Amino acid sequence: MTEQSEQPKKIGRFPIIGTLGVGGMGVVYLGQDPDIGRKVAIKVLHTTGDKEALERFKNEARTMGEISHPNIVILLEYGIDDNKPFLVMEYLDGLSLEKWINQTHTLAEHKKVLLNLCSAISFAHRKEILHRDLKPGNVQVLPSGDAKLLDFGIATGEDTGLTATGFFIGTPKYLAPEILQETTHTKTSDSYSLGLLAYTMLCGSNPFATETFEATMTRLLTKIPVSLHKINPNIPVDLSKVVDDYLEKDPEKRPNSPKELQMALELISKPSVLQKKIVPSTDSKDLRSQEKTVLIGESPKKNLKWLALTALLMVVVAVGFVYKNHVEQIKAQELAQLERAKQERIEQQKLAKQKERAKQEALAKQEQIKQEQAKQEDLARQEERARQEQERIQQEQAKREELAKQKAKKPKKKPVKVVKTPVKESVEEEYKPPVIVYQKPKKKVNTKPVFKLPELTPNANKVALKTRSDTQISRGTTKSITVELPTGITIDKFKVMRGLSEFNQVEIRKIKDLQDSLIQVTLYAQSNASMGDFSLVGFYQNKKTKPLLMEVTL
C-alpha cells in the first residue's frame, strides 16, 4: 500500500507529474497521457477497505460516464492500479470558485459563471441525476471565465433517500434545511444549494457559516440573510429577489429548477450594469445585524416539530463526532501499519544492498584473477613468438650460406650468339579500331536568380526567407530546416516567435552555414509545446526579415 505522503511515479499507464489536492476520500494527482502528451487529473481512492467510500467512488465513475456537457468535467478513463480504483479526468486550469469568490469581478463575470452552473445542473436534472454537494470547492473557473462542475461522488437519482449517515457526506454549510428534518434529497434541495452558492458569490461569504458546526446549523434553520441589493446596490433588485426565493426555508415555496435564476440573469443585458464591480464583503457582523429570525409558529404541533428538529440536530452532531473519532482511529492504525511496512521495506533494501555489494566484490576479484592470467598468457605468447622469429632468422642465414657455396662450385657458361631474322612487312595495313574517348557530362550551371536588394533605409521592404524543407515539427522532436537567403544578406541571429512574443516552447539548437546562400537551422519542440503556427524571424543590420511560417504538430 502506497503512503498518502508518497507520490507514485505512475498510475496505470499515466506518469505522475505532481499532486493537485488531497481530500478525505482520496488524492488527485496531475498526470500526463503518454500517447498524446496532454495533462490529466487522476483521482485515486485512499483505501479500498471502506466499502461505503468505494461505492461512492464507483458511483462517481458511473454517473460521470452517463453525462457529457460543456460545463461538467469530462471523465476520460476508469481503471484499477495496485488494487486501488482511479478516475482519469480532463485537467482544468484556472481557479477553484472558493478562491475566485475572494477576488473583485464584474457582474458580467458573475453572470457567466452562474449561467454555466444553471446549464450544468439543468442537464443533470434532465438525466434524473441530483448532485447533492453543490459548493464553491466543486466548481472550477477556467481562464476563459467559463465554469465547470466537479465531483459527482455522492450524486444519485431523485428517488434515492439520504440517510442520517449520508448527511455527513455533503457539505453542511450548503445543505437545504429540509435535509435535517426529512430523508429525501430532491431537485428543490439542489436549487437551494444553487441559490446559496449564488448568494455567496455575489456577497463574498456564506451568510450561515460560523466557527462551529452547531452554530452553522442553527443559523441555517433560523436566520434569513439580508437581500443582496441591500448589501451592494450594484446588484439588480430583480436578481436579488430571485436569489431570496431560492433561499426559502420551505421547499414548497422554493423554485425546483435553475430556470428562474437563469431567466433573471439573462434579463441583465445593459453594459453599464454588467460592468459594475462586485467587491466581496469583509464585515460579516454588520450584515448579520440586519438579518431576520424565522419565528416559530404558535401552534404546539409546530413548536414540537422544531424542538424535535433541534434534538435531531444534536443527535446528528454527537454521531458526527463519534464517527469522526472512529475514522481517526482507523487512519491512525493504517498509518502505523504503513510505518511498519516502510521499516520492513527499508530493512529488506539494506539486506539487498549488502548482498549486491558482496556479489560485486566477488565479481571484481574474479575479474582481477582473469586479468592476471591473461597477462601471463600474453607474456608466454610473446616469448614463443620471439623464439620462433630467432629460429626463422637462423634458418634463412643457413640457406643463404648454402646457396653461396653452390654458386661458387658451378662452371661459367659461354655466351650464346643470337641471330636476328628480318620480318617481312605486311602488304595490307593493320586494322586499327577507332578510339572512343569518354567525356564526362558538363555540370549544370546554377541559374538561380540573384537577389538584388534595395538600399537598406528605414523604409526599405523586409527580406523574405525561403525554405527547402518541410516546415512542420512534431512535439518532443528535433528537426533541421534548410533556409534560403537572398545573395548578399548575412543573418546576425534568429528568433522563434508566436505573434509578437518569443515562443520559448520551440528552441534553436544549432545554426550551420551551407553553400549557395543556404543556412541549416536545427529546432527542438518541447514535448508539452502547444500545437499551432509559429514563425522563424532573422535579424540583419538592425532589421527583421519577413517571418517564415512553421507549425507544431503531434
Domain shared by 45 and 86, yes or no: yes
Out of 104-113, 137-146, 195-204, 460-469, which region has the weakest mean confidence (pLDDT)? 460-469
- DSSP codes joined into one string, 151-162: --TT-B-TTSB-
The torsion defined by the Cα of 104, 109, 112 and 118, in degrees rounded to 10, comes to 20
Residue range 40-64: average pLDDT? 80
pLDDT at res. 84: 85
Burial of 520 (0-12, 13-18, 19+ CB in 10 A): middle
Q: Do 140 and 268 share a domain, yes or no?
A: yes
Locate all alpha helices (DSSP H) within 410-505, ordered by sequence: none
Give the end of a domain, one of 32, 59, 91.
Answer: 91
- Name, in order, each residue with C-beta under 8 angstroms of 32's C-beta and a sequence gap of 6 or more: 14, 15, 17, 38, 39, 40, 528
Helix (H, G, I), strand (E, B) or coil at 278: strand
Of 175-179, 263-267, 496-500, the one with minimum mean pLDDT is: 175-179
pLDDT in tens, 56-95: 888 778 888 788 899 998 888 888 888 888 989 999 999 9
Output the pLDDT for position 283: 57
541 dihedral zone (left: phi>0; alpha: psi -120 to 50; beta): left
Mean pLDDT score, 372-381:
92
What CATH number is attached to the domain comprising 512? 2.60.40.10
Is there a single domain that holds both residue 189 and residue 200?
yes
Q: Are residues 369 and 246 in the same domain?
A: no
Q: Confidence band (pLDDT; 50, 70, 90) for 194?
A: very high
Report the SS3 class of residue 392. helix
Sign, CA dihedral 180-185-189-194, equals positive
Please count the other Cβ atoms lying within 10 Å of the Cβ belonging to residue 362: 10
Confidence of residue 296 (pLDDT cuts 50, 70, 90): very low
- Distance of alpha carbon 39 from alpha carbon 33, whole angstroms: 6
For residue 422, is it within any domain? no
Q: Is residue 411 part of a domain?
A: no
Least confidently predicted of 126-130, 279-283, 532-536: 279-283
State whether 138 and 51 are in the same domain.
no
| pLDDT higher at 274 or 311 | 274
Predicted confidence band at 477 (pLDDT cuts at 50, 70, 90)? Answer: very high
- State the average pLDDT over residues 526-553: 91
Backbone torsions φ then ψ of 347, nearest 5 degrees:
-65, -45
Please state the domain count of the chain.
Answer: 4
Beta-strand pair 548-553/472-474: parallel
For residue 407, is pLDDT > 90? Answer: no
Query: What's the CATH number where 265 sits?
Result: 1.10.510.10
What span, in angstroms and rounded, lies between the C-alpha atoms of 398 and 356? 63
Long-range contacts of 44-53 (CB under 8 A, 24+ apart): 44/11, 44/81, 44/84, 44/85, 44/86, 45/84, 45/85, 45/86, 46/4, 47/1, 47/84, 47/334, 48/83, 48/84, 48/85, 53/25
Q: Which of 295, 315, 330 is the last residue of a domain?
A: 295
Q: Are residues 66 and 166 in the same domain?
A: no
Q: What are the tens digits of pLDDT across the range 309-367?
A: 655 665 665 566 566 666 777 777 777 788 888 888 888 888 999 999 999 999 999 99
Write down the pLDDT at residue 323: 66
Residue 167 pLDDT grade (very low, low, confident, very high; cuts 50, 70, 90): very low
Distance CA 514, CA 393 (A): 59
Query: Confidence band (pLDDT; 50, 70, 90) for 450?
Result: very low
Same domain, 72 and 117: no
Residues in Cβ contact with 7 at an 8 Å cutoff, skipping those fewer than 6 apart: 16, 18, 19, 29
pLDDT (0 to 100) of residue 212: 79
- Exposure of 284 by Cβ count < 10 A (0-12 exposed, 13-18 middle, 19+ buried)? middle
- Does the pLDDT at position 429 exceed 60? no
CB 236 within 8 Å of CB 229: yes
**CATH code where residue 47 lies:** 3.30.200.20
* pTM as predicted: 0.53
Burial of 54 (0-12, 13-18, 19+ CB in 10 A): middle
Domain contains 456: no
Cell 481530500 -> residue: 23
Instruction: Kindly tell me the burial class for residue 235, based on how many C-beta atoms sit within 10 Å of its own C-beta (0-12, 13-18, 19 or more).
Output: buried
> What was the pLDDT predicted at 150?
87
pLDDT at 437 over 60: no
Grid-cell match 422544531, residue found: 306
Query: Residue 99 has what pLDDT?
Result: 93
For residue 412, the model assigns a pLDDT of 62
- Enter the C-alpha cell of residue 472: 512542420
CA distance 203 to 229: 10
Tell which wins on pLDDT, 432 or 355. 355
CA-based nearest residue to 8, from 34, 31, 38? 31
C-alpha grid cell, residue 493: 541571429
Distance from C-alpha of 310 to C-alpha of 314, rounded to nearest angstrom: 6
Where do we find the cell 504538430?
553
Is residue 87 located within the same domain as residue 98? no
Mean local confidence (pLDDT), 381-393: 92
Is 101:137 a contact under the CB 8 Å cutoff? no
User: Is the per-residue pLDDT at 107 higher than 90?
Assistant: yes
3-state SS class at 244:
helix
Q: Is residue 428 part of a domain?
A: no
Domain assignment present for residue 338? The answer is: yes
- The mean pLDDT value of the chain amounts to 81
Per cent of the chain over pLDDT 70 is: 77
| Domain presence at residue 199 | yes
pLDDT band at 297 (very low <50, low <70, confident <90, very high): very low
The number of helix segments (H) and strand segments (E) in the chain equals 12, 23
**Residues 121, 227 within the same domain:** yes
Percent of residues, the chain, with pLDDT higher than 90: 41
pLDDT band at 451 (very low <50, low <70, confident <90, very high): very low
pLDDT value of residue 101: 93
Q: CA 69, CA 55: separation in Å to the nearest integer?
A: 24
In a domain, 445, yes or no: no
In-domain check, residue 17: yes
State whether 61 and 127 are in the same domain. no
Structure confidence by residue, pLDDT tens digits, 214-256 = 788 888 888 889 999 998 999 999 999 999 999 998 888 999 8
Whole domain around residue 338: which residue ranges? 301-380
225 and 168 both lie in a single domain: yes
Least confident of 363-377, 399-413, 538-552: 399-413
Please say whether the beta carbons of 259 and 211 come within 8 A. no
Which of 41-55, 302-316, 389-403 holds the top average pLDDT?
389-403
What's the one-letter identity of residue 395? Q
What's the one-letter identity of residue 312?
L
Q: Is the pLDDT of residue 514 over 60?
A: yes
* Residue 411 confidence (pLDDT) above 80: no
Average pLDDT over residues 279-299: 57
Point out the domain boundary residue: 91, 119, 136. Answer: 91
- Higher pLDDT: 102 or 171? It is 102
**The pLDDT value given to residue 478:** 94
The answer to whether residues 120 and 64 belong to one domain is: no
The answer for residues whose C-beta is within 8 angstroms of residue 540's C-beta and 6 or more apart is 463, 489, 490, 491, 492
More confident residue, 357 or 289: 357
- b (16+ CB within 10 A) / e for 19-42: eeeeeebbbbbbbbbeeeeebbbb
